Structure 1
Amino acid sequence: MEKIKSSDYRVTRPVRLKEIPTLNMLDASEKDLEKQLAKERKKLAKFQNRMYAHGKYGVLICIQGMDTAGKDSLIREVFKDLNARGVVVHSFKTPSALELRHDYLWRHYVALPERGKFSVFNRTHYENVLVTRVHPEYILNENIPGIESVDDIGPVFWDKRFEQINNFEKHAAENGTIIFKFFLHLSKEEQRHRLLRRLNKENKNWKFSSADLEERKLWDDYQQCYEEAINLTSTAHAPWYVIPADSKEACRLILADILYDELKEYKEVKEPELDEKTKAHLEDYKKQLQAE
């Protein structure tokens, strides 16, 4: 199996999505990929337990991708071995009435991970510079001072929003949040096959909406917006990783491997040692319990 290097997927310079492959099977079968993923899951689970005991870091995992990119199943398969209390998944959909009464980052601030825990954002704060750029009329729902019509939403508005997102992530990182941002890079042809599967399988029909086809017509617009967002916001403290997503099994393994490969570098994340008084009386405590 091909060795996975996080540096091969991390965005450290401007990228063009058209030039990045959407498929990498890692020279392995689907069965072998699944076996290796099981090993990576166990490593992540052990790290999360240590991180919980250490109590100084939280991990934020942001997952973005076009419809059918495999976000839901990836989250299920990659994190299912973690302690259920140690990982919280947030699926951000259309903002609620309450959320619209706050600034657009509010609902993401309150969902940042507690120290010792993983937070997974299934769709993220980047929807505010992706969907809203393709459909700028959605911005009007935010009731922002000075924005009365789509004509008021120009380049300066988007530059400011990218700056705000970068500041949000910098603030989180400086306060103990380890940030990963993953773009599941799906081909348009693979999306077509996955949409057809949804239509052909009765137990998958509920996932399909006619709106999926309308959004598919805007594929090139979304790709351009993703490319710009990734290039403007991939930083040392909050890097983007572009993961080939045409194979779900390979995509899951690559993401899990990157997570563990980067997290294991936090050498200070260890279980705290017992205080000297407790250490000195361990045998006494054992005897007390054994004598009951």
Structure 2
Amino acid sequence: MPYSLVSAATLGFDLVRLPAGRAVAEVLLTGLGADEAAVDRLAAVHPARGLDLERRGVRAVRGRRAREMAAGVPHMRSAADAGSGAGDRTALLVAQLEQGTIGDAPTLERLLREDVLGAEHPQRAELDVDLWDEATEVLADAAVGYWAAGVLPPLVRRDLTAAFDRAQDAGPLVTPAGWQLGPAEDDLMTFLAAVRDLDDAGRTRWRLAVDEGRSAQRPWATAMHEASWAAHVSGRTRALAAAQLLAVQAFLDGGFDLRDGAAGVWNAVAGCVQAVVMADLLGEESAAVLVAPRERALRA
């Protein structure tokens, strides 16, 4: 299944279940919010700068081989194949959700190159093409390296991510202003801070709230679609995608794990993000469906 910025919550579902999903979110957030200074910093650390043609070729070959290895990240299809005939369909479904991703490394890289850094990026037409291409390569390598951190040999992973890490040595590459999060930015940041600061009791309340609301799955999906469509028609798709990626980081910083991601807690958090960011354009009924887990958690 290809990723898209419109369905960033689906990407988030994968990221919260990957060993280095938080870092993947950071790479994508950097791309979404990159200004001229960020592009310059990324391009300046491109590992092929100063190399002759032969050594550039060696690096290109290493990059292709690393991407071949990245295919080893378990996909839901492979998880299903591995468990076929196991007998316990419920256990198989849980294993698929915990171990298998919906997308893969090529779809992630395509998202970065064509959507995050594509023609709609506000800086794309303003900056030098060569600098833009170098910055793109640094981000693409890092995205793949972190995505596949669980299966790549450590040296291979570091070869892909080292340039991005160096670019961050001088501090954050982007600020919230670069994401243009919209009129509900303050409310979003307040919600994410609350998720980030959860303790054991708070996480338990969210888990119980999700269990109580499982019968509302279909209304939830419809409400998520309505919020995504509202973002699309209002030109705020990139803002909503950035919000979901920030939510990935808050979810993991708040102590939730891959089992929580697979069991529905991520979907609950992502729904609240949709409702908060698109509050001015979302119908009351859909908004109520999306924030219901938070309301139940607060009452518990």
Same fold (TM over 0.5): no
Larger fraction in strand: 1
TM bracket, shorter-chain basis = under 0.3
Greater fraction helix: 2
Q: TM-score, normalised by structure 1?
A: 0.26
- Give 1 or 2 for the bigger CA radius of gyration: 1
TM-score, length-normalised on structure 2?
0.25
